[in-house]
Amino acid sequence: MNNRPDSVTIIGSLLITTGTLGLLSHLADFRVPPFHSDIAWVSLIRLVAILSGAYVLCGRNWARWLALAWILFHVVIGALHSSFQFAVHALLCAAFAYFLFRPSAGRYFRRDRA
Protein backbone atom coordinates (compact mmCIF):
# COMPACT_ATOMS: atom_id res chain seq x y z
CA MET A 1 0.00 0.00 0.00
CA ASN A 2 1.36 3.43 -0.95
CA ASN A 3 1.28 6.08 1.72
CA ARG A 4 0.69 9.71 0.86
CA PRO A 5 3.91 11.74 1.02
CA ASP A 6 3.91 14.36 3.79
CA SER A 7 4.56 17.10 1.22
CA VAL A 8 1.36 16.17 -0.65
CA THR A 9 -0.57 16.22 2.63
CA ILE A 10 0.80 19.66 3.46
CA ILE A 11 0.03 21.12 0.02
CA GLY A 12 -3.48 19.62 -0.07
CA SER A 13 -4.22 20.91 3.42
CA LEU A 14 -2.78 24.33 2.56
CA LEU A 15 -5.01 24.58 -0.51
CA ILE A 16 -8.12 23.62 1.45
CA THR A 17 -7.30 26.00 4.30
CA THR A 18 -6.40 28.90 2.01
CA GLY A 19 -9.51 28.42 -0.11
CA THR A 20 -11.82 28.10 2.88
CA LEU A 21 -10.41 31.09 4.75
CA GLY A 22 -10.50 33.19 1.59
CA LEU A 23 -14.09 32.19 0.89
CA LEU A 24 -15.15 32.95 4.46
CA SER A 25 -13.43 36.33 4.36
CA HIS A 26 -15.54 37.31 1.35
CA LEU A 27 -18.91 36.24 2.77
CA ALA A 28 -19.74 39.80 3.75
CA ASP A 29 -19.21 40.87 0.13
CA PHE A 30 -22.22 38.85 -1.01
CA ARG A 31 -24.65 41.58 0.03
CA VAL A 32 -27.39 42.44 -2.39
CA PRO A 33 -27.16 45.37 -3.45
CA PRO A 34 -24.29 46.22 -4.25
CA PHE A 35 -23.21 42.76 -5.42
CA HIS A 36 -20.23 42.96 -7.73
CA SER A 37 -19.48 40.23 -10.23
CA ASP A 38 -15.82 40.32 -9.16
CA ILE A 39 -16.75 38.56 -5.94
CA ALA A 40 -18.16 35.65 -7.95
CA TRP A 41 -14.86 35.22 -9.80
CA VAL A 42 -12.83 35.50 -6.60
CA SER A 43 -15.08 32.92 -4.95
CA LEU A 44 -14.68 30.59 -7.91
CA ILE A 45 -10.89 30.75 -7.54
CA ARG A 46 -11.27 29.96 -3.82
CA LEU A 47 -13.49 26.98 -4.64
CA VAL A 48 -10.90 25.73 -7.14
CA ALA A 49 -8.31 25.76 -4.35
CA ILE A 50 -10.61 23.74 -2.07
CA LEU A 51 -11.46 21.28 -4.84
CA SER A 52 -7.87 20.74 -5.92
CA GLY A 53 -6.71 20.38 -2.32
CA ALA A 54 -9.35 17.80 -1.48
CA TYR A 55 -8.62 15.71 -4.55
CA VAL A 56 -4.85 16.03 -4.16
CA LEU A 57 -5.34 14.38 -0.78
CA CYS A 58 -7.35 11.63 -2.52
CA GLY A 59 -4.49 11.06 -4.95
CA ARG A 60 -6.18 12.21 -8.15
CA ASN A 61 -3.61 13.05 -10.81
CA TRP A 62 -5.74 15.77 -12.43
CA ALA A 63 -5.92 17.55 -9.06
CA ARG A 64 -2.17 18.06 -8.85
CA TRP A 65 -2.28 19.67 -12.30
CA LEU A 66 -5.20 21.85 -11.17
CA ALA A 67 -3.25 22.85 -8.05
CA LEU A 68 -0.28 23.82 -10.21
CA ALA A 69 -2.54 25.81 -12.55
CA TRP A 70 -4.08 27.54 -9.51
CA ILE A 71 -0.71 28.71 -8.20
CA LEU A 72 0.46 29.69 -11.71
CA PHE A 73 -2.63 31.88 -11.98
CA HIS A 74 -1.53 33.57 -8.76
CA VAL A 75 1.98 34.08 -10.15
CA VAL A 76 0.47 36.00 -13.07
CA ILE A 77 -1.84 38.02 -10.81
CA GLY A 78 1.06 38.73 -8.46
CA ALA A 79 3.14 40.02 -11.37
CA LEU A 80 0.39 42.50 -12.15
CA HIS A 81 0.44 43.83 -8.59
CA SER A 82 4.01 44.03 -7.36
CA SER A 83 7.39 42.43 -7.74
CA PHE A 84 7.19 41.17 -4.15
CA GLN A 85 3.87 39.38 -4.75
CA PHE A 86 5.27 37.95 -7.97
CA ALA A 87 8.38 36.65 -6.18
CA VAL A 88 6.43 35.07 -3.32
CA HIS A 89 3.97 33.35 -5.65
CA ALA A 90 6.77 32.24 -7.97
CA LEU A 91 8.58 30.62 -5.04
CA LEU A 92 5.38 28.92 -3.93
CA CYS A 93 4.82 27.74 -7.49
CA ALA A 94 8.31 26.23 -7.62
CA ALA A 95 7.67 24.46 -4.31
CA PHE A 96 4.30 23.13 -5.50
CA ALA A 97 5.86 21.86 -8.74
CA TYR A 98 8.78 20.23 -6.96
CA PHE A 99 6.76 18.50 -4.26
CA LEU A 100 3.77 17.49 -6.41
CA PHE A 101 5.87 16.09 -9.27
CA ARG A 102 8.82 14.41 -7.60
CA PRO A 103 9.03 10.59 -7.89
CA SER A 104 7.46 9.73 -4.52
CA ALA A 105 4.47 11.94 -5.29
CA GLY A 106 4.27 10.50 -8.80
CA ARG A 107 3.98 6.99 -7.34
CA TYR A 108 1.21 8.17 -5.03
CA PHE A 109 -0.77 9.75 -7.85
CA ARG A 110 -0.32 6.72 -10.13
CA ARG A 111 -1.31 4.07 -7.61
CA ASP A 112 -4.25 1.83 -8.36
CA ARG A 113 -7.58 3.15 -7.05
CA ALA A 114 -9.45 -0.16 -7.23
Rounded to whole angstroms, the Cα distance separating 101 from 84 reads: 26
Q: Over the stretch 58-77, which tens digit does the pLDDT of each residue have?
A: 999 999 999 999 999 999 99
Cβ proximity of 71 and 89 under 8 Å: yes
Give the HSE-up count for residue 4: Cα atoms under 13 Å, Cβ half-sphere: 16
88 lies in which domain range? Answer: 6-110
Average pLDDT over residues 24-29: 78
75 in any annotated domain: yes
Checking if the pLDDT of 20 tops 80, the result is yes
Percent pLDDT > 70 in the chain is 87
Checking if the pLDDT of 114 tops 50, the result is no
81 in any annotated domain: yes
1 in any annotated domain: no
Checking if the pLDDT of 31 tops 90, the result is no
Checking if the pLDDT of 35 tops 90, the result is no
Rounded to whole angstroms, the Cα distance separating 19 from 54 reads: 11
Q: Verify cis geometry, omega within 30 degrees of 0, for the bond prior to 103.
A: no
Give the residue with greater pLDDT, 91 vs 35: 91
Task: Provide the number of structural domains found in the chain.
Answer: 1
